[in-house]
């Protein structure tokens, strides 16, 4: 079995968390609430949330408990820790995290995805599948269209539409874990019911690639490579940092975000690989 991982901050503080071993692997994409509160001892509450949640998962995923139960316990634990910070219980928009996870359990393998993280799997016959959820992506696409419209009306670059888009982003963020919004790991354990879950035979799978949306931009936004081509590059020994460099360079060439519309020049980017 071959495992590998890579993470790179989009700016100064990396709010992603990535871990992989022979029995399980996952990425977390932390998000700080848009209402401006900052109560933890980390650089951002999102970083604290993903680090605390991630370390809980590392300590517990090898236990003989159902995956959903472990995830619910992770939410309870992380929020109990968060509530110990001064002012935490007054926070309107609490930190949250998207997740993409696999776990070997006997002769089976479990997958769980929530938010806009992605898992790409390749089976023994070479077929590639994308495991993800769509609600957050749909909201993001709607808000990018709003950004494009304001950029056109005001004759400015997309990257400069912050003051126009912030109220819409806040509205979307405050819809998390609601019927008409999107579901994500935060303070509500009901979110676990809304994640993508699948269990398949371990013998069917030859490769698993999990990533945050900061890395999946390579095929979702920039169309540099397809998911299948990404798997092939990795199988052929191309280093993850070199693949990321291709994305980084493309982002540098479009710093105004006009050619490839997105919320920021680059996001934190994380990826893990497990090959069997």
Is 80 exceeded by the pLDDT of residue 33?
no
What is the rounded CA–CA span in Å between residue 75 and residue 188? 7
Residues 189-236 have pLDDT tens digits of 999 999 999 999 999 999 999 999 999 999 999 999 999 999 999 999
Greatest extent of the chain over all pairs of C-alpha atoms, in Å = 58
For residue 138, what is the domain's CATH number? 3.60.40.10
Number of domains composing the chain: 1
Distance of CA 181 to the CA centre of its chain: 17
Contact 173, 33 (CB under 8 A): yes
pLDDT band per the 50, 70, 90 thresholds, residue 275: very high
**Predicted confidence (pLDDT) at residue 36 exceeds the cutoff of 90:** no
Which pLDDT band holds residue 32 (cuts at 50, 70, 90)? confident
The Cα 269–Cα 7 span in angstroms is: 6
pLDDT for 170 equals 83
- Measured distance CA(24)–CA(65) in Å, rounded: 14
Is 205 exposed, middle or buried (CB count within 10 Å of its CB: 0-12, 13-18, 19+)?
Answer: buried
């Amino acid at each position: 079995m071959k495992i590998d991982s890579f993470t790179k901050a989009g700016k100064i503080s990396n709010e992603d968390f990535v871990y992989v071993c022979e029995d399980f692997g996952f990425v977390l994409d932390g998000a700080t609430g848009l209402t401006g509160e900052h109560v933890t001892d980390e650089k951002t509450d999102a970083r604290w949330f993903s680090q605390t949640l991630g370390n809980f998962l590392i300590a517990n995923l090898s236990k003989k408990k159902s995956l959903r139960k472990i995830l619910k316990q992770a939410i309870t634990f992380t929020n109990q820790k968060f509530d110990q910070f001064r002012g935490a219980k007054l926070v309107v928009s609490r930190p949250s995290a998207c997740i993409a996870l696999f776990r070997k359990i006997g002769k089976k393998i479990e997958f769980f995805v929530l938010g806009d993280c992605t898992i790409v799997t390749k089976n023994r016959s070479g077929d590639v599948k994308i495991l993800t959820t769509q609600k957050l992506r749909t909201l993001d696409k709607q808000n990018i269209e709003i950004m494009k419209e304001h950029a056109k009306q005001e004759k400015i670059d997309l990257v400069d539409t912050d003051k126009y888009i912030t109220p819409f982003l806040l509205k979307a963020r405050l819809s998390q874990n609601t019927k008409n919004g999107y579901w994500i790991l935060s303070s509500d354990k009901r979110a676990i019911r809304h994640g993508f879950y699948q269990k398949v035979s371990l013998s069917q799978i030859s490769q698993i690639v999990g990533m945050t949306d900061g890395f999946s931009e390579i095929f979702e936004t920039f169309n540099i490579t397809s998911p299948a081509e990404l798997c092939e590059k990795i199988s052929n020994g191309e280093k993850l940092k070199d693949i990321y460099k291709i994305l980084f360079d493309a982002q540098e060439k479009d710093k105004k975000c006009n050619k490839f519309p997105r919320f920021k020049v680059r996001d934190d980017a994380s990826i893990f690989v497990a090959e069997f």
